[in-house]
Amino acid sequence: MNAFLKRVWIALAATLIVSLAAVVLPDRVQIDDNGRVHLGAPLAKPSGSASAPVPEPEPTSPALTRDEVDKAIRTAVRAAALDPEQGQSTAPPGSNVNRTGWTAVLERAAAQSKMKAICADLERQGWVLNPNRDGDDAARSYKRGGWYLLVHTRGKTQAPSDTLSDSQTDLTMTGLQLNLSDVPLPEMPLPEITLRMR
């Protein structure tokens, strides 16, 4: 009986994890009608007619290197009339090829317009705004070439710091490389469970 309960709990935990992943990253994790999990690009739905053309998959941008993401960040910062050298890297060169970023302290009154200018230039460079966000004024996330880039401002109330005055805030860009299609997901049959109500 203990082995059966253990299998039930493992199955429930796996289902919960996959369901949360499908909500957080709907463009990377899909669950089909049969309950099978697919990682990577969305699955093409079978057409009703054999002669009907199969829809083309959505074009994806080529994979970017960390150096290319760093260059995109510096270009966007310059487009906002800021000097990249006045800020600092959140991941020094050579520390991690899958993570990068830039941050600077700005006057709160100017931070919002600078962030909008940065976001406009990222979109000009081909970065795609995350459709799951509603274009929040305090944070926006983008994706391109296997990278996710979060641009946000945070005040002293969200990140207490002795270095920030009440009129200052942080403007931060955080880049993270994710490739969920390379993560193997073992096929695990779920046990059949029958509940009887008395």
Domains of the chain and CATH, by start = 1-41 (no CATH), 66-181 (3.30.310)
Query: What pTM, to 2 d.p., does this model score?
Result: 0.58
Q: What is the pLDDT of residue 195?
A: 47
Q: Is the dihedral of CA 56, 58, 62, 65 positive or negative?
A: negative
- Tell me the three state secondary structure of residue 170: strand
Q: Compute the chain's Rg from CA coordinates.
A: 22
Q: What is the pLDDT of residue 53?
A: 55
Q: Is the dihedral of CA 21, 26, 28, 33 positive or negative?
A: positive
Q: What is the pLDDT of residue 113?
A: 92
Mean pLDDT of residues grouped by 10 in the chain (198 residues)?
68 64 61 60 53 51 88 96 90 80 91 93 94 69 92 66 78 84 52 49
The one-letter amino acid at 105: V
